[in-house]
Every structure is written in structure tokens, then in C-alpha cells.
Chain A
Amino acid sequence: MDSLNSLMDGFGTALTPINLLWAAIGVLLGTAIGVLPGIGPAMAVALLLPVTYGLEPTGAFIMFAGIYYGAMFGGSTTSILLNTPGESAAVVAAIEGNPMAKAGRGAQALAAAAGGHFVGGMIGTILLVVLAPTVASLAVDIGAPDYFAIMVLAFIAVTSVLGSSRIRGLASLLIGLTIGLVGLDQMTGQQRLTFGSLQLADGIDVVIVAVGLFAIGEALWVAAHLRRSSGEPVPVGRPWLGKDDVRRTWKPWLRGPVIGFPFGAIPAGGAEIPTFLSYVTEKRLSKHKDEFGKGAIEGVAGPESAASASAAGTLVSMLTLGLPTTAVAAVMLAAFQQYGIQPGPLLFERESELVWGLIASLFVGMVLLLALNLPLAPVWVKLLRIPRPYLYAGILFFAAVGAYAVGGEALDLVILLIIGLIGFGMRRYGLPVLPAVIGVILGPAAEQQLRRALQISDGSATGLVDTPFSVAVYAVVVLIVCWPLVRKVLARRRKETKVSA
């Protein structure tokens, strides 16, 4: 019941007027970003990182979490009405939602999605309350070798689970690690990759890297291929659900989190896999199989619930282990570093007010989102009318503001552009961006933990694997690395048994 008390204290923090204001700003921005094309929650949080220079951490994180949850809500709106998912987690919503909208049932599709987000987010956040302190207390004695193992896991997971090509994921990670090396070595003060430049000796600020890769890279890439004609959204009224619809949606809503939450907590690419799995599950369980593909409401309700629950799962790994499993979590981790706070098991002890305030604000945000989205969905859709030149010019503008705010150096703007051009090239040649960002954020920390662990063991490599925790993590790493091989063997064996039978 300890966590219940802490949660109550958290509500005390979250319900102060100023924090309520940050939560409201967060969910408003988040919904807008979810609706707007070309700008995802990771880019939004990256563009807002400069506020960490002026804002106390609790307010900033409440706002960031609001953006994360709000983007999930807003993303499904564009999927359903325009058939163009606002962000990757909402791809599945378009499959059933758009046919529903075209058949005049857009209001029901929006309501099923909003309900799914609310239920999934609520259940996911309750699971977060129950599980996170337990995970944190289990992991509380972890030391340098364990931290290093977790970071290795993060590196391997983002390079091999995401994207279609492992080698391109690895290339991206190494680019990130290289950027992370620039500056003074944290332990000895040795200059690395600075080429004698005083400004580079401070290292390249992670804000500049995140903004460059996510915002500038994306804006330039879109500019090179800007679609000249954009589709018209299907007009829609106020979302509502009839009795029949509720009968068909409540079970998918409840099933969503079962799939979404665990997938959010592990580094498996965020909400894409669980939304798809949920879709397949609902299709199998539905009594209206014939409607699938033509607008089955279960196919909207389940995946959307799974998407929101996966966001809660992501926060468990991020807060308790410091392990970012999605791009948004990675950028939020960068924000923690800006404040000099180390997410991990000790976070719940050292920053208990911040963490519980953040968790309580998730509940607050969810209620705000439901209130904002159900009646206002038609208003949000109007955002799609914004002229694209303004949208992408605005992204470039705010990216420049953010990078300049880091240190007031014009040189940072040049570095920002260079990193943006790298991000452009990565998009052109299919190098995923997330591994590079994780490399920049976790690389220096991983090196420090590695050296600390080896210092303790006096240089013996066994110092890296002398705890059960680290051994377990490395076992997972080996499993991920060998998975394609295992799958190949399994598939062959299955084929053989089929042939022999």
C-alpha cells in the first residue's frame, strides 16, 4: 500500500494549479501534434527540450508525458478521417477506421478510438503504479556492471528489432556513439575528436543532436519530396457510441492493454507491434469477421487501447531502469540528463515527488484528453488545413530557437544544420534515426559504467558479468542477437515435420 500513499502524494503535486496547467498544455500540444502530419511526439519533445533550461523538472515532465499520451489520441483522428496516420502507432487504426468514416460511421470510429485510448491508458498507468516500484526495488542494488548490461541491451535491441536491416541499424548506432565521443573524456579530461576546437570540447549537446536528427532531418526530407496535393478529411460530427457499438467495443478495450503494456516495456519498437497484434487478435475473436477490412469497430477499439497501454509500459522501463524503448522515451531520457537526474531504480527514492507527480498527472491527462477529444474532434481536424510551407517552416524556426537557446552560440546552429543533413541522408538511405539518438544519449554513460566496472574488478573482464542481474540481461542480449538464426532453424524444422507427416 506504500505505492498507493505515494500516488496520493503524487496527486497532491499534480493537482496544483501550475502543474495542472502544464498537463493541459501538454495534452493540447500532444493532440495537435498527433493530428498534424510530419511532426511526431519525439520531434515535439525534442523541440521543447530547451524549456528545461527555464522550467523546474516536475512541470517539464508532466508536460512531456501529456504530449506523449496526447499524440496517441490525436494520431488516430487523422488515421480514421484521412487514412494518413499522424504517427506510426496509429497505422492500424486506419485499416478499419477509415472505411468506417467513409461509410458514415466516422463518429463511432473516433469514439471507439478515444475510448480505447482512455481505457488502455488508464489500465496501463494502473499497471505502472503497481509494477514500477516493485521493479525499482528489485533493481535497487544494481551497480556499474548491471547498468552497462542494460545499456548494451538497449543498443542491441534498437539496432536489431527496429527497421528492416540490422547492418543499417548498427551503422546508425555507431554514428550516434561517435557524436557522443566528441568532447572531454569524463574521467580523465582528455580531449577526443575536438580537433583543438574549444567549442567542441564541451561536447555536442544532446538537445542539438535530437533536434537536428528529428526536426531538421525530417523537415528537409519532407521538403525534398513534398506531396503537392493532400487528401481531404472525411467530414465528421461529434463522436458517440450506440448501445450496439459499446457491446462490441468494451472487450477489445480491455484486451488491448494485455498486449500493449508488456510490449511497451520491452525494447521492441514501441506501439507498432502490439497494435498490429491486437488487430489480429480482435479479428480472430470477433463475431463479425466479415466486416473486417470494411470497417469493423473492434479493429479500431483494440489496437488503440493497446497503443496507449504501451506508452505506459514504456514509462516503466524508462523510469525504473533508465532503459528507453521508444524515440519519445529516449528524448525524455535526454531531458532527465539535462536536469542531472539519473533515471533508474534510485529515482523512486531520490526524486519520489517528481516521479509520483508525473504518474498522477498521467491520470489527470487522460481525463483531460477524453474531455478534449470527444466533443472537439471536428475542431482538431481543422488543423489539417494548415498550409504545409508554414508547418515545415515553423519546424525549422523552432529548431533554430531550441538550438540557439542551448548556449547562445551561432556555431550551434551550424552544427545543428550538419546533423540535420546527416538525418536527411539517413532517411534517404534507410538508416533508422532512433539508434543514433540512443547512441548519443547512452553512449557516454555506458562508457563510464564500463570503465567503473572494470576499475572495480581491476581490469578483469569477469567484472562485467559477476552479478546475476547482468548475466540475465546478457542472456536476453544473446537471445535477440541469435533470434533470426533460431527462427530459421525452427522454420526449417517445422517444414521438415510437415513433409514427413
Chain B
Amino acid sequence: MTTHPNTPPKEETPESRGWLREHSELGVGLMLLVLGILVLTDALTMDVDITQRGPVGPKTVPIAVGIGLLVVAVLLSLDVLRGGRGEAEGGEDIDLSEPSDWRTVLLLAGVFLGNAVLIGPLGFPISGALLFWGSAYALGSRHLRRDPLIAAGLSLVTYFIFNNLLGVPLPGGPLMGVI
């Protein structure tokens, strides 16, 4: 995929780097390609002889989807090399003129993962409050008293609505054990 005739020579690192950044959408094509190979491998290694019922077995659709992914991966990459670009999505709170703020995104993802790890041992009321506070902090809120209060209130109210009113169980954790 990288052996396109237009690929600049490797020595000029600054330029080839700029080229890569300009064509970062090729990564989408690559991802689709990997996904396609994954789906096809899974489908072709499937062991179906006993369970087959009807002319179309469990393999057919995955094979079709896998081939589709490969075809789209190639077509999308060609489109990008020809100068096609996917338009980044706009929105009312979105300012596309600024470069992507990766720090915030990574922080948010980290806080979210933290919630996934902590929800078991600490229970939802605590991990949920940390999730809200952490996210608000990552997004730039710096009210050291107001933020945790809102987070704790929201988390407790949500816990009671889901757990007690809607009948959707959430883990209470040690905190609810005390109360």
C-alpha cells in the first residue's frame, strides 16, 4: 500500500512526514484492511460441517462482509491518494480551526477507564462521582468545591433512581454498605 508512485523519497524526512500527516486518512484504509482480514480469517477457520442448516451457513455473510471490507479499504485508500478527504464533522461547540486537543481526549479516556476498573471495588456512587469530576476537570472546569459536590450529588441521585426506582441494579460498594 505504501509503494505508491507518488511516495516521496525516504531521505527527506520532514517532507515525507508532512505527506503522512496530509494523508493520515490512509490509516482508516489500513484499519479497514486489517478488519477485513480478521473477519475473513475468522470465517474461513470456522468449523461448520455438523451444524449447517440450509444452503447458507454461518460462514457466508462473514465472508461477504470481509470481502466488502477489503474492497472498501482499497477504494478508500485510492480516493485519499487521489486527493479525496473525509470532512471532519462540525458542531455548535466545535471549533475546527483549532488543532486537535489530544491531551483532553487522552485524559477523558483515562478517566473513563478508571471508572471501569473502580466500579467493582468502590461501587458506583464513588466511581461515578470520580468519573464526572475527572471528566469536568479534563474539560477545563476548576471549581475545587463546586465540581466534587455536583459530582457526588449527581452520582448518588442517579444511583437511587436506577437502583431503587427503575430496578436496574448498580453496585453500591462499601459506601452503600455503611448506609
Which residues of A line the B interface, CB within 8 A? 37-38, 50-51, 53-55, 78, 84-86, 164-165, 167-168, 170-171, 174-175, 177-178, 181, 185, 187-190, 192-193, 195, 216, 218-228, 230, 387-390, 392-394, 396-398, 400-401, 404-405, 408, 410-411, 413-414, 417, 420-421, 424-425, 427-431, 447, 450-452, 454-455, 458-459
Contact = CB atoms under 8 A, between A and B. Distances in A.
Given A38-B91, A174-B69, A222-B93, 15 more contacts: A50-B168, A54-B166, A54-B168, A78-B92, A165-B86, A167-B72, A185-B58, A187-B53, A193-B42, A227-B95, A394-B154, A397-B131, A400-B128, A428-B86, A450-B56
A459 B57 CA distance: 11
A185 B47 CA distance: 13
B138 interface: yes
A389 B140 contact: yes
Given A181-B61, A228-B95, A389-B140, A190 B86 contact: no
Given A168-B76, A228-B95, A408-B171, A223 B139 contact: yes
A329 B172 CA distance: 34
A417 B55 contact: no
B89 interface: yes
Interface of B: 25, 28, 32, 35, 38-39, 42-43, 46, 48, 51-58, 61-62, 65, 68-69, 72-73, 75-76, 79, 84-89, 91-96, 98, 100-102, 104-105, 108-109, 111-113, 115-117, 119-120, 124, 128, 131-133, 135-141, 150, 154-155, 158, 162, 165-171
B75 A167 contact: yes
A354 B124 CA distance: 34
A188 B52 contact: yes
Contacts of A177: 65, 68
B71 to A, nearest CB: 9
B166 A459 contact: no
Nearest to B141: A389
Contacts of A220: 105, 108-109
A51 B167 CA distance: 9
Nearest to A427: B89
B56 A410 contact: no
Contact of A178 (B35, B88, B158): B35
Contacts of A400: 112, 115, 128, 131
Given A51-B166, A404-B170, A410-B120, A225 B94 contact: yes
Contacts of A390: 136, 141, 150
Contacts of B96: 225
A174 B32 contact: yes
A429 B86 CA distance: 5
